[in-house]
Amino acid sequence: MDASVTRAQAALDSAFIRILRALACIALRHGMSFAAFAELAKRAFVDAARHEFALPGRKASSSRVALLTGLTRKDVQRLSEEPPSEGDDSSAQYNRAAKVIAGWVRDPAFQAGPGVPADLPFDGGKKSFSELVRLYSGDVPPRAVLDELLRVGAVERNATGEIQLLTRVYIPRVSDREKLQILGTDVADLVATIDNNLQPDRHRPRFQRKVMYDNLPSEAAERFRELSAAESQQLIENMDAWLSRHDRDANPLVHGSGRVRAGIGIYYFEEDLERPRE
């Protein structure tokens, strides 16, 4: 085998070990066995082979999927006939709540001053929580949105009964189910971007950058944690404002062809290099 191919395979193996170890930690923490993980991996391979590697103009046959994945045709057939896992509306709920908070943060109509979200009455005209929800969450009942934001600690009632925003982002804090939904969407988006950038024939690479130093004192790491959170939050709010002006749901006056899902994600990472690895 060509030496460059061998090195590429070794690099791929090493990369997958790092990814799978992180996933294994989550799986074990939530009681998922290797057998259950392996079955999900089989399903993912079959799904990817059918939808991403089909020949142009042809539906992927079970024989082709088996050839690509190394699974038996019996396994491919069984997995193809199984109904998809039942989803839920966690992603939609996350999106609705996030849009309401983003509108509250950036829309001057709902601010007490530049960049300062106002305390809002539930009802009461153009500067109310109900109007905020109508503008940024479509036909979802304002009471349902309020209950969700109260549940996760994003808002509270002040002394006069008005609704006060406590955080500039929507982060589920109670339900593991909702946090695991975010795991599925955010990790998949990051991996899809890396996959796009690994393909040499792609003419439009997606932005993917990282900055890291590995000999920081704990005090500097603490300061960087605070600095990166503040700077990243500002960038996210700027990007959200731009996207909302060009999204048909948020701005019905927008015209154009096609339908594209696009965004930007930021994550912070930290590792204690002096901590013994168990």
Query: What is the pLDDT at residue 169?
Result: 78
Lowest mean pLDDT among 27-31, 105-109, 208-212, 263-267: 27-31
Residue with the larger pLDDT of the pair 22 and 115: 22
Residue 84 in this model has a pLDDT that exceeds 70 = no
Average pLDDT over residues 78-105: 74
Q: What is the pLDDT of residues 152-189, one digit of tens each?
A: 888 999 999 999 999 887 776 545 666 777 788 889 99
pLDDT for res 175: 54
pLDDT over 80 (residue 202): no
**What secondary structure, in 3-state letters, does the chain show?**
CCHHHHHHHHHHHHHHHHHHHHHHHHHHHCCCCHHHHHHHHHHHHHHHHHHHCCCCCCCCCHHHHHHHHCCCHHHHHHHHHCCCCCCCCHHHHHHHHHHHHHHHHHCHHHEEECCEECCECCCCCCCCHHHHHHHHCCCCCHHHHHHHHHHCCCEEECCCCCEEECCCCCCCCCCHHHHHHHHHHHHHHHHHHHHHHHCCCCCCCCCCCCCCCCCCCHHHHHHHHHHHHHHHHHHHHHHHHHHHHHCCCCCCCCCCCCCCCCCCCCCCCCCCCCCCCC
Per-residue pLDDT, averaged over 104-132, amounts to 91
Q: How confident is the model at residue 24 (pLDDT cuts 50, 70, 90)?
A: very high
70 confidence band (pLDDT: 50, 70, 90): very high
Which pLDDT value is given to residue 278?
54
- Looking at residue 129, its pLDDT comes to 95
Tell me what pLDDT residue 90 has. Answer: 52
pLDDT for residue 265: 93
Q: What is the mean pLDDT of residues 58-83?
A: 88
pLDDT winner (highest mean) among 24-38, 97-111, 147-161, 214-228: 214-228
Residue ranges of domains in the chain = 90-165
pLDDT-based confidence at 200, cuts 50/70/90? Answer: confident
- Using the predicted structure, report yes or no on whether residue 272 has a pLDDT greater than 70: yes
- For residue 85, name the pLDDT band (cuts at 50, 70, 90): low
- Mean pLDDT for 31-40 is 90
* Mean pLDDT of the chain, nearest integer: 87
Q: What does the pLDDT read at residue 164?
A: 96
Domain boundaries 90-165, CATH class: mainly alpha
pTM score over 0.85: no
Residue 87: pLDDT over 60: no
The pLDDT score that the predictor gives to residue 173 is 58
